[in-house]
A and B are shown apart, each in its own frame.
Chain A
Amino acid sequence: LKDLKYADSHEWVKVEGNSATIGITDHAQDHLGDVVYVELPEVGAAVKQGESFGAVESVKATSDVNSPVSGKVVEVNEELSGSPAKVNSSPYEDGWIIKVEMKDAGELKNLMDSEEYSKFCEEEDSKH
């Protein structure tokens, strides 16, 4: 999606002012398989760019979800506790995972835009 920024660990972030909504990309959910559980952080927890804040479970694997930005968790998507499959069916909308109050908007320059991210995915898939 064009107005989002992307991390090389396949998470997206939508920035509105100081607020960042975060989830995993369609590429990630497709490669992970059916998500059966989402481990969410506590509201108020600190997150750091590039570091893990939670995990998703699929096909007997827990996979870390890493934050594209640093800041403080202000909201988590509680719906995912009962309906983890939203991460697969709607990775950019209903499947959002956390909302963060950003610490430093300057960090966004470390992320990819949608064109760069598409190219990144193509290169990654062609290598394997």
Chain B
Amino acid sequence: MLIPQTKNIGLPLMNLMRFKGLPILQQLHIEEQLLRTSSENWCIVNDGTNDPTIVMGVSGKPAELLEIESVLDDQVPVIRRFTGGGTVIVDHGTVFVTFICNKEAVPNLQPYPRPIMSWSSSLYSKVFQGIGDFHLRENDYVFGNHKFGGNAQSITKNRWIHHTSFLWDFNVQNMSYLKHPKRAPAYR
């Protein structure tokens, strides 16, 4: 519900949805529905998902990015999301944060990938102030040299979504289901 006088504050007014353990497929369905059918701004926070799940970007090729035999043997679900970017394996130790905004929501923000990512990284640099050497490095969120989350976006005519899966805690063994991508930043 929009309160008229808050439109003048100058920062995006967002509806906040908080979940714990929502299955990532359901989260992605909600996100795509809100992006394409809502006219309001949203922030979604999901503290962990239920079962370990592989989530691939719109153009990811399973044969190139997954250890297919292990994935099939262990029956790990694989989902293709509607945003770009790479492959992640998520579980109860992942924290998901999503922003869905109208293109006018953030003043002076051009609705293109790099400006949006620059805006989100300036938001997160305030969140992580004093905790670690946070910055955006070659489109990754890092503490120093260590990437600690995956992020991706989708931009429509009048709205955009930027979502992140933060590896708050992760099972190193789960990483063995994934191959290193062919194109990867040198720092990694």
Q: Return the CB mask of B50-67 against A: 1 if under 8 Å, else 0.
A: 000000011100000000
Interface string of A30-63 (1 = CB under 8 A from B): 0111001101000000000010100101111111
Would you call A60 and B139 a contact (CB within 8 A)? yes
Residues of A contacting B153 with CB < 8 Å? 60-62
Contacts of A124 in B (CB 8 A): 110
Mask of B148-188 contacts with A, CB within 8 angstroms, 1/0:
00011111110000000000000000000000000000000
How many residues from A make CB contacts under 8 Å with B? 22
Is B85 located at the chain interface by the 8 A CB criterion?
yes
Highest count of chain A CB atoms <10 Å: which of B84, B86, B116, B154 = B84
Residues of A within 8 A of B83 (CB): 60-62
Write out, one digit per residue, whether chain B residues 118-162 have a CB within 8 A of any chain A CB (1) or not (0): 000000000000000000000100000000000111111100000
Query: Is the CB of B113 closer than 8 A to any CB of chain A?
Result: yes
Q: Is A114 an interface residue (CB 8 A)?
A: no
Inter-subunit contact A59/B113 (CB<8 Å): yes
Across the interface, which residues of A come within 8 angstroms of B57, CB to CB? 57, 60
* Contact, CB under 8 Å: A61 / B154: yes
Which residues of the other chain, A, contact B155 by a CB distance below 8 angstroms? 61-64
Instruction: Please state if B156 and A64 are interface contacts (CB–CB under 8 Å).
Output: yes
For chain B, the count of residues having a C-beta within 8 Å of the partner chain is 25
For residue A109, CB closer than 8 A to chain B, the reply is no
Q: What is the predominant secondary structure among interface residues of chain B facing chain A?
A: loop
Measured between beta carbons, the chain B residues less than 8 angstroms from A66 are 157
* Structural contact, B112 and A57, CB atoms closer than 8 A: no
Q: Mark A68-89, 1 if CB is under 8 A from B, else 0.
A: 0000000000000000000000
> In the assembly, what is the distance between CA of A39 and CA of B84, in Å?
11
Tell me if B108 counts as interface (CB < 8 A to partner A): yes
Q: Judging by beta carbons under 8 Å apart, are B115 and A128 in contact?
A: yes
CA distance A120 to B132 in the complex (A): 42
A31 pairs with B84, CB closer than 8 A: no
- Distance, CA A39 to CA B86, complexed state (A): 16
Taking the nearest CB of chain B, how far is it from the CB of A32, in angstroms?
Answer: 6
Q: Does A19 contact B (CB under 8 A)?
A: no
Interface flag for B117 (CB, 8 Å):
yes
A: which residues have CB within 8 A of B? 9, 31-33, 36-37, 39, 50, 52, 55, 57-64, 66, 124, 127-128
Known: A60-B151, A64-B156. 8 other contacts (CB 8 A): A31-B112, A33-B114, A52-B156, A57-B57, A59-B114, A61-B153, A64-B157, A66-B157
